[in-house]
Amino acid sequence: MIHSSAVISPQADLSPGVKVGPYSTIGDHVSIGRDSEIGPHVVIEGHTQIGERNIIYPFSSIGTPPQDVGYGGEDTRLIMGDDNVVREYVTINRATTKEEWKTVIGSHTYLMAYSHVAHDCLLDDNVIMTNGATLGGHVTIGEYAILGAFLAVQQFVRIGTYAFLGAKSGIDRDVPPFMITAGPRAKLYGVNQKGLIRRGFSQETIDLLKRAYSIIWRENKRFDEGIRQAREELEPLPELEMLLNFLSGSKMGVLR
């Protein structure tokens, strides 16, 4: 199921069931897992490992060198999991040599048209990036996070699990788990209640997170004092611990 016009290196490793469309190019060190579909005019190069049942749409560019003036052609990596959808004109760069030498895309992610994943980013499972969303280098995104259209995330920022980021925003600090952001210079707007309900969270857990949000961000106290008060006063559910540990571990600062 490889089109005659596709250019595939003899050193590439394509598993059974892989389909490659017209005019696509697959480089020397690429491996593609079983039953993946590579559409027309796709470029995949570098040390790129793609899992099973991925669908990559036309004009995507996967595993190209990082957009970093300090990169010297080293054999850095891009690793993708299974069951991902990569829509038209998506760009995913392999890593630099400044951290772990790898850019990682989890499984069941959906990268919509024109979105960009820069070098050394780490995306957990079930992440959605909508049209034109852009990540700077070294960004980390937790599972089930949703990024709105045409937003930009600054380098080294962390996006927490189940966070929802509104469209057309600039994200320059960490976004806590379970929260909503919006605005040109993004601000927090409370707990992602609808998203958590859709994912099966109990009302008890949602109410606890809303109480934590109120303590930490609305009661006009120092940030570390709010975290300490939430730990002392609220029931120690796993979701609360996840939120508080995320906040305590921030190096870029947290959106307010």
Residue 15 lies in a domain: yes
Token pair, residue 31, equals: 């491996």
pLDDT digits (tens, 9 = 90+) for 129-144: 999 999 999 999 999 9
- Domain with 61 in it: what CATH number? 2.160.10.10
Do residues 106 and 81 lie in contact, with contact meaning Cβ atoms separated by under 8 Å?
Answer: yes
Residue 87 lies in a domain: yes
Tell me what percent of the residues of the chain surpass a pLDDT of 90: 96
What integer pLDDT is reported at residue 194 of this predicted model? 95
The answer to whether residue 137 is catalytic is yes
Instruction: Say if CB 78 and CB 103 are below 8 A apart.
Output: yes
Smallest CA-to-CA distance from 62 within 84, 46, 81 is with 46
Q: Which domain holds residue 94?
A: 7-138
In a domain, 80, yes or no: yes
User: The whole model's pTM is what?
Assistant: 0.95
Q: Is residue 159 part of a domain?
A: no
Q: Tell me whether residue 221 is in a domain.
A: yes
Active-site residue, selected from the candidate residues 27, 46, 120, 136: 120
Residue of 47, 116, 119, 138 marked catalytic: 119
State the Rg of the chain over Cα. Answer: 20
Do 13 and 127 belong together in one domain?
yes
Domains of the chain: total:
2
119 is catalytic: yes
Bridge partners (DSSP) of residue 32 are 14, 50
Instruction: Among 111, 138, 165, give the residue marking a domain's end.
Output: 138
The predicted-structure confidence for 215-245, as pLDDT tens digits, reads as follows 999 887 888 999 999 999 999 999 999 999 9
Range with the poorest average pLDDT among 41-55, 105-119, 185-199, 218-232: 218-232
Predicted confidence (pLDDT) per residue in 151-209, tens digit: 999 999 999 999 999 999 999 999 999 999 999 999 999 999 999 999 999 999 999 99
**Alpha carbon distance 60, 197 (integer Å):** 34
In 3D space, the residue among 249, 103, 106 whose CA is nearest the CA of residue 176 turns out to be 249
Decide: helix, strand or coil at residue 217: helix
Residue after which a domain boundary falls, among 138, 157, 177: 138
**Ordered strands of the 179-182 beta sheet:** 19-20, 37-38, 55-56, 85-86, 110-111, 128-129, 146-147, 164-165, 179-182, 187-191
Catalytic residue chosen out of the listed positions 33, 137, 160, 226: 137
